[in-house]
DNA sequence: CATGAATGAGCCTTCATTCAT
DNA sequence: TATGAATGAAGGCTCATTCAT
């Protein structure tokens, strides 16, 4: 049946609110702590209403996962369009990923939880594939830029490292670092400014590959600052306060 | 109180078997899927018997975690005693960590699950601290070698990177990469030999920092081969078959 | 949140039924024999439904206890308002307490079980205090009448007996006697009409203290008959059939 | 098979210790809190050994009950042999009962718990009857003295009170009072010296029945003091410290 | 005899999901 | 369409009792 535009709008708003609440509960209490009852209670709607939007708890969680990767993909896609030399575009991706983790820490946490628990298995095939496809596109964006770098003559990979392997390296550094940060025990381990540390480590890695322009040949921090302001001004409000 | 040696031995063997089964179930079905009933069923023992060894489900999981980190720490400690130049000792650590993830993939998976889920919070304070203390020692081993490198004049860190931050970078690369590998969707993404890729990326990172001897100045692959054979011969049997 | 009046009524009725069933099971099988499963089965509702009314088994039992003492306090308070000389008002209390034990034998049994078992310790502090406060008020009613008797010149207590000690004596006789009756092995011991015996013993006790009017100066049985009919007509139906 | 005298003695000693431990646990933690495991642990014997003495948990508890009433009967029988006028012999019983509750509070508590819980039902028929028979003998002792009083011309019961009913009255006062004392909330209710209060209330009751010699005609406190010293000197050590 | 590991029925409690109103 | 009472399978844990050593 057709809904009036107003109804339709309200419907979507409610769906968004459900996911919001669910994401917070998932972060705060883990997979076990996410309870349909509690979502309903916090929304001040009834459980029945939640079930009108999502057919099961699994469904809620998979939608959360979908939101997450779409969010990240969106940011990465935006960054990849930066007009500049390939290594600068990698820097743009760095900006995007850092912003994603900082500004949407809860999204990232969701990804991590879902990755760890064997929820994927239970999820519908279709959803499953959607997630993998999305990851593929993320990798594609990065390795595309690596190839651009090679094509532009800025970078020559040693024979023992394929573009995918380099991409995998940067992804690992970024994902692993963010995981450790988000999980939280970092303070006690004496690592200052971990986000900046991730970026600096990646820069050193690219320097090691002799990807031009090298980190001391250009002012990357300034470039990234500019990228953040030009391309992601809408997300900057509180991201600076670590 | 006093058990005969035979009883004592049987007791320990059974405890080991419980943890084995638990680890497998944890891997296969995640935290939620680990059920005391099922452990008992698979062991062909009764629930009561399991509870004679571990006072709760949480207790089982924390013991699993303890095993994991002790295992890793043991391997890292062994590697750190390699007699060689600092960067070679880092390579030895690489060997250790790769062996850990490959040979004890299920241990690593446990670590990952525990890190993601909010199990830590529920765990007894004492266990908690033991885990953190262990992580601290792991980091200490690595950053100690970094400082040795600096002291030996082999490495000069740029001002924007502290030894802890570099350690964090290598840890991130290693942990993140292993996570992605173990979680499994890598085949479809076109990344070949991911373990080697992690090591190569780390080498490039250290080259980028100009840590002597650079990767093309020495035959690191051969060094690592030798380290593996000399220091970890007991673990090599099936580690080569990926 | 807001329930319709009908729903509200049904809810309360069901709650009452749960307590009814619980009280019966508690009487029949003791504290140990009270099983949530069985309550549900006898009600022909599911366990979950019981838990929507009471958060735990303990909660059910404490509510039962609360009902009991409120019931008794209510009857005693009613009796204490009898217009007559203090010793007649004591007689009115006797009527009330007998009615309580006879008409609400199951309530009394609950009190006894709760007093004996170490349930009180487990109960929430708040509930705890409520019970004690209620007992205090019961004692207060009685010792108040004792003091009235003294003030009216009807009674002079010997120096070795305070009003509280006399109250304690009557309470003991009444509670002890009722306990023995309710527990059941009395028939075989040759004690006829035990309820009347309790009252007569109390009368002799008060005669021993020379509390005017003495038992042979007034027709207390007739007075009590009248009190029962005037003040507790609503509870008389089956109380006569012992 | 025959046991050597030494073995036999050790066996009995162990049985006594089991019951001791069991009684303490029953008092401290109630029926639920009495666990065969814990008895064994505290005894530093194994569970199997306990089961060589008692065939079940029920058995342990019933033996505890048997000990209790035998203890009380023993004390009452001793007291009933006091050479004096009937009312003095009642006073001697008062001494006995008070001593029983004070000196063997844990025994009394056991009786109370067993009376409240529906353990009796589960107990073997034989045990059951033993308990009732014992109670009968206790009552018999008291009502025998009442009849002696009547026969001696010291007491004339009103027509509405049989010797058994009077006995029931004193039993109620004593049992009820002790119950309330042992359960513990008395301090807050302002009743001083509750044991003495029980005795004084009984004295007033007997005065009310005009049982000679009346309480003010003889120095009962002194008589009771003497009885305690002459007949129960073996139990007096700490009974005076309330 | 003593031991204590093994058993397993049984209990309390939780929570995703359904459906009558 | 919204509600929330009802459901009941499932899971963690306990503890009396047995029996091989």
In DSSP notation, B72-130 reads HHHHHHHHHT--S-HHHHHHHHHHHHHHHHHHTHHHHHHHHHHHHSTHHHHS-HHHHHH
Using a 10 angstrom Cβ sphere, with 0-12 exposed, 13-18 middle and 19 or more buried, the burial of residue C51 is middle
pLDDT top residue among B61 and A5: B61
Say what the pLDDT of residue B2 is: 55
Residue A3 has pLDDT above 90, yes or no: no
pLDDT top residue among C4 and C110: C110
Q: Residue C31: closest CA among chain D residues belongs to which residue?
A: D117
**With a CB-CB cutoff of 8 Å, which residues 70-99 of chain B face chain A?**
none
Strand F and D56 CB separated by under 7 Å: yes
Cis peptide bond N-terminal to C181, omega within 30: no
Residue C62 has pLDDT above 90, yes or no: no
Mean pLDDT of chain A: 87
The string of pLDDT tens digits covering residues B24-67 is 998 888 777 889 999 999 999 999 999 999 989 988 988 888 88
Going along chain A from its start, the domains and CATH numbers come out as 1-54 (1.10.10.60), 57-236 (1.10.357.10)
Contact by Cβ (8 Å): D175, C179: yes
pLDDT-derived band at C151 (thresholds 50, 70, 90) equals very high
Q: Per-residue pLDDT averaged across D91-103, rounded? A: 93
Residue B120 has pLDDT above 70, yes or no: no
Side-chain half-sphere CA neighbours of D100 within 13 A? 28
Mean pLDDT of chain D: 88
Say what the pLDDT of residue D116 is: 65
The string of pLDDT tens digits covering residues A23-39 is 998 888 877 788 999 99
Q: Per-residue pLDDT averaged across D91-109, rounded? A: 89
Residue C128 has pLDDT above 90, yes or no: no
Instruction: Give the pair of three-digit tokens for residue D165.
Output: 């009913």
Using a 10 angstrom Cβ sphere, with 0-12 exposed, 13-18 middle and 19 or more buried, the burial of residue C3 is exposed
Nearest to B21 by CA among B4, B2, B37, B3: B37
pLDDT-derived band at C201 (thresholds 50, 70, 90) equals very high
Chain A residues with CB-CB distance to B134 below 8 A: none
Alpha carbons C36 and C39: distance in angstroms, whole number: 5
Instruction: Give the pair of three-digit tokens for residue D237.
Output: 């050590």
- Where b means 16+ CB within 10 Å and e means fewer, D69-108 reads bebbbebbebbbebeebbbbbbbbbbbbbbbbbbbbebbb
Mean pLDDT of chain B: 88
Say what the pLDDT of residue A125 is: 63
The string of pLDDT tens digits covering residues C83-123 is 999 999 999 999 999 999 888 888 888 877 776 665 555 55
pLDDT top residue among C11 and A152: A152
pLDDT-derived band at A109 (thresholds 50, 70, 90) equals confident
Asked if B33 and A174 come within 8 Å (Cβ–Cβ), the reply is: no
Residue in C30, C115, C136 nearest the CB of D118: C30
Q: Per-residue pLDDT averaged across D11-23, rounded? A: 92
pLDDT top residue among C119 and C139: C139
pLDDT-derived band at C181 (thresholds 50, 70, 90) equals confident
Instruction: Give the pair of three-digit tokens for residue B126.
Output: 């004492």
Residue C239 has pLDDT above 50, yes or no: no
pLDDT-derived band at C208 (thresholds 50, 70, 90) equals very high
Say what the pLDDT of residue A240 is: 46
Q: Which residue has the tokens 């600092």?
A: B86
Asked if D165 and C136 come within 8 Å (Cβ–Cβ), the reply is: no
CA-CA-CA-CA torsion for B82, B87, B91, B94, nearest 10 degrees?
Answer: 110
Number of neighbouring beta carbons within 10 Å of residue C1: 4
pLDDT-derived band at D222 (thresholds 50, 70, 90) equals very high
Counting one residue from chain C and one from chain D, the pairs whose CB atoms sit within 8 A come to 186
Q: Per-residue pLDDT averaged across C212-231, rounded? A: 95
Give the list of residues 6+ apart from residue C16 with CB closer than 8 angstroms, or none: none
Contact by Cβ (8 Å): A65, A29: no
Side-chain half-sphere CA neighbours of D133 within 13 A? 8
Nearest to C220 by CA among C239, C235, C207, C238: C207
Residue A163 has pLDDT above 90, yes or no: yes
**With a CB-CB cutoff of 8 Å, which residues 96-115 of chain B face chain A?**
112-113, 115
Say what the pLDDT of residue D106 is: 81
Asked if A205 and B200 come within 8 Å (Cβ–Cβ), the reply is: no
pLDDT top residue among A28 and A123: A28
Q: Per-residue pLDDT averaged across C3-16, rounded? A: 81
**Segment among A10-19, C229-238, D150-159 with least mean pLDDT:** C229-238
pTM, entire model:
0.80
Interchain contact A31–B (C-beta under 8 A) = yes
Residue B113 has pLDDT above 80, yes or no: no
Residues 133-162 of chain B sitting with CB below 7 angstroms of strand E: none
């Amino acid at each position: 049946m057709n809904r009036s535009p107003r109804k339709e709008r309200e419907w979507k708003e409610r769906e968004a609110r459900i996911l919001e609440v669910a994401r917070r509960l998932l972060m705060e209490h883990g997979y076990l702590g996410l309870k349909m009852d509690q979502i309903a209670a916090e929304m001040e709607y009834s459980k029945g209403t939640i079930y009108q939007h999502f057919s099961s708890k699994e469904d809620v969680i998979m939608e959360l996962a979908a939101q997450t990767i779409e969010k990240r993909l969106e940011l990465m896609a935006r960054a990849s369009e930066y007009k500049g030399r390939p290594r600068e575009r990698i820097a743009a991706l760095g900006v995007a990923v850092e912003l994603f983790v900082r500004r949407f820490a809860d999204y990232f946490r969701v990804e991590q939880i879902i990755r760890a628990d064997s929820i994927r298995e239970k999820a519908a095939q279709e959803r499953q594939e959607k997630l993998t496809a999305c990851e593929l596109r993320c990798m594609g964006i990065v390795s595309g830029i690596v190839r651009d770098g090679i094509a532009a003559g800025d970078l020559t990979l040693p024979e023992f490292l394929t573009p995918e392997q380099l991409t995998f390296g940067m992804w690992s550094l970024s994902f692993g670092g963010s995981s450790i940060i988000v999980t939280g025990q970092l303070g006690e381990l004496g690592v200052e400014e971990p986000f900046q540390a991730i970026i600096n480590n990646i820069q050193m890695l690219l320097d090691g590959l002799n990807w031009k322009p090298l980190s001391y040949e250009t002012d990357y921090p300034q470039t990234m600052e500019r990228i953040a302001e030009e391309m992601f001004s809408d997300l900057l409000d509180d991201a600076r306060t670590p």
